[in-house]
A = this chain, B = another copy of it.
Amino acid sequence: MNGVVDGLPLIDHHCHGVVRDDLSRAGFEAMLTEADASGPLHGSLFDTQIGMGARAICAPLLELERFAAADDYLARRADLGWDEVTRRMLAGTGIAHYLVDTGFLADALTTPRELAAYTGARASEIVRLETVAEEVLARSEPVGFAAAVRVALHERAVTAVGFKSVAAYRVGLDLDPERPSDAEVDAAAVEVLRNGTAARIAHPTLTRFLIWAALDFGLPLQFHVAYGDSDVDLARCDPLLLTPFLRASSGLGVPVMLLHNYPFQRSAGYLAQVFDHVFVDVGLTLHNVGVRADAVLAELLELAPFGSVLFSSDGFGLPEIYAVNTTLFRRALTAFLDDGIAREYWSTADAERVAVMICSGNAERAYRLGAS
C-alpha cells in the first residue's frame, strides 16, 4: 500500500470551522483536547498525545524543527497569523469535501465556504437539530412548536446534506425508541420554557421528536457518541444504548452515523454489522490518541463491514487538528490494510478498493454527494 492511502481524497463527514483569530497559549491549550484548560495538577496540555502531535506534525508546516518547544511554536504561529497558519495546516490534508456542522459557536468560526476556500475544496452543511429547535423556541409560542420545527427543518434540508443530534450531551443515548406525538412535544416545549431551560434543550421528549422529525427527510442523521468533554456523561453514551432506536429505525433506509464512539468503538462496529443503516467512524478520537491511532481504528474495523466505515476529523477551532487527524488517519488505515496484505488475508487490489471506500466512497453513497 506504499503511499496509496496518502494520495486518496477524503470526504470529511463531520467537522467544524476554525477560529478566526490569533490565540494565546491558554486559548490554544483550551482547544487542544477535551479538557477545559491546562490545570495546576496535570500541568500543560501540550504533554498529551495531541500536544505532541502538534509539535511533531505541525511545527514543520510552520518551518520550525520537528518537536519545536510549545512556546516557540506559538510564537511562530502568532507571527504568521491565524489565516496563514490555517492555509498551511489545511494545504496537505487532502480533504476534498467538508461536511460542516454549523450548529455550535458558528459566529467565532470560519463558515463552510471559507473553510473549503483555503484548498479549493467543496463544502456542505450538516444541521444541528438542537440548535434549530432552540432558535424556534426563542422566537415562537410553544403551542405549534412541533409543526414550527418541522417547517424550520424543511427550510434547512433544502441545502443541507444531513442532520446531527447531540442527544448524548443533553439526555444520554438510552432513548425511548418511540416517536412522540405532537401534543407531547408541545407540552414538553411548555415545560422547558417554564423551567427556563429553553436556551439549551435537554428534554427526552424533545430529543426523540427531533430525531424522528429529521428521519422524515431521509437525510443521514449523525449522533455524537461517547468521547467528548466533561459535560458528557460517558456512562450514558455507550452506543449500545441506541440499540432499541436502531431497531426501530432499521426499516427506513435512512443512514444513521455514529461519530467518535471511543472507548466503545468495538460496540459501534458491532452495530454497523447488524444494522445496514448504521455507519461509524472514530472521528475526534484519532488525534487525541496520537500514536495509538492504529490500534483504535483497527478495533473499529473488527466487526464493521468495510462499506459502513467513514472518515471524519472533527476538526474544530484549531486548524492543527485537521493536519494531525488526517495524518494519523492515513497512517492508521495504511497500517491496517498492510497488516492484512502481510498476513495474505486480502490482496493489494482489495486493500486499495477498501481504502477508497473508507476515504470517500461510503460517504458519497450514504450522503448521495455525487460529483461536484
Contact = CB atoms under 8 A, between A and B. Distances in A.
A290 B66 contact: no
A307 B47 contact: yes
B234 A273 contact: no
Most buried by B among A277, A279, A291, A299: A291
A58 to B, nearest CB: 12
Given A243-B234, A298-B292, A366-B41, A306 B48 contact: yes
B357 A47 contact: yes
A33 interface: yes
Interface string A29-64: 000011111011111110111001101100000000
A322 interface: no
Interface in A53-105: 53, 55-56, 66-67
Contacts of A243: 233-235
Interface residues of A, number: 78
A199 interface: no
B307 A289 contact: no
A190 interface: no
B240 A41 contact: no
A180 interface: no
Nearest to A56: B345
A308 interface: yes
A274 B235 CA distance: 14
A347 B244 CA distance: 47
A229 interface: yes
Contact of A41 (B39, B234, B262, B277): B277
Most buried by B among A37, A272, A346: A346
A216 interface: no
Interface string A258-284: 000011001100101111110100000
Interface of A: 33-37, 39-45, 47-49, 52-53, 55-56, 66-67, 227, 229-230, 233-235, 238, 240-241, 243-244, 247, 250, 253, 255, 262-263, 266-267, 270, 272-277, 279, 288-292, 295-296, 298-299, 301-303, 305-308, 336, 339-340, 343-347, 349-350, 354, 357, 365-366
30 contacts: A33-B273, A33-B305, A34-B270, A35-B274, A35-B276, A37-B276, A41-B255, A41-B277, A41-B365, A41-B366, A42-B308, A47-B307, A49-B302, A52-B350, A53-B345, A56-B345, A67-B347, A230-B247, A234-B267, A234-B270, A263-B266, A290-B340, A290-B345, A291-B340, A291-B345, A292-B298, A292-B299, A292-B301, A292-B302, A296-B302
